Every structure is written in structure tokens, then in C-alpha cells.
């Protein structure tokens, strides 16, 4: 009897965990506007920015401070196999990041929680 109770509790907790990830994924949609905040660490951890050597090879300027404060719009939302929500963003003014990259990606929930993305 105890095995059935434990199994039922485990199943119920898994269902609630699945609904929480669905709520996060449903809370962001294409067209939402965000602002890129200042990272708490030395560099951005949850926003995937290109490495400096790739920026320089394409003829851009690898200054990561210029990303802070930019307003971005969500262009694509994807749910990964492990339950994370990845978003693709572009700048609202139409210019490119570092003069080379039109879009960047981010882990939505972790970037929001850490303050790297701020909702407008």
C-alpha cells in the first residue's frame, strides 16, 4: 500500500513540474520586448554571445559592454528536450550586435532570473 502512495505522490509532483515549464514557455512569445541588463558576473552566463575571435574575424568590434542596455525583440521561441526555453533575439533599432551578428540566443528563464534580461 505504501508503494502505491509513494508512486502517486511522485506522479503528482512530476505533473506539477511539467505544468511549471509550460507556464514559462507560454509567458514569452514572439514580439515581446526586453532590455539586456548588466550581468552579475564578469560576463554574460545565460545570454549566448559570440566569442571575441569570431567577432574580430567578421570585422566587428568585440566590446561586450555595448550590449548592456540594448532593447531586443524576441524573434523565435524553442523548447529544448531538457525543458529549457531558448529564445532568439534581435535589436529593436535594426542594427547588428558588434556590427556582425543580427541575432543572439538566450536561456529565457535563467536570463530573466539572473537579471541579464529585463522585461519592458
Per-residue pLDDT tens for 10-22? 777 776 665 554 4
Q: What average pLDDT does the structure give for the chain?
A: 87
CB 35 within 8 A of CB 118: yes
Is residue 1 over pLDDT 90?
A: no
Amino acid at each position: 500500500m505504501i508503494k502505491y502512495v509513494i508512486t502517486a505522490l511522485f506522479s503528482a509532483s512530476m505533473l506539477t513540474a511539467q505544468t511549471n515549464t509550460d507556464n514559462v514557455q507560454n509567458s514569452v512569445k514572439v514580439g515581446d520586448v526586453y532590455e539586456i541588463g548588466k550581468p552579475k558576473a564578469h560576463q554574460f552566463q545565460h545570454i549566448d554571445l559570440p566569442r571575441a575571435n569570431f567577432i574580430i574575424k567578421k570585422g566587428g568590434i568585440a566590446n561586450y559592454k555595448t550590449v548592456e542596455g540594448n532593447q531586443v525583440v524576441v524573434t523565435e521561441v524553442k523548447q529544448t528536450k531538457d525543458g529549457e526555453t531558448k529564445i532568439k533575439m534581435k535589436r529593436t533599432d535594426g542594427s547588428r550586435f558588434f556590427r556582425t551578428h543580427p541575432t543572439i540566443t538566450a536561456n529565457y528563464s535563467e536570463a530573466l532570473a539572473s537579471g541579464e534580461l529585463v522585461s519592458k
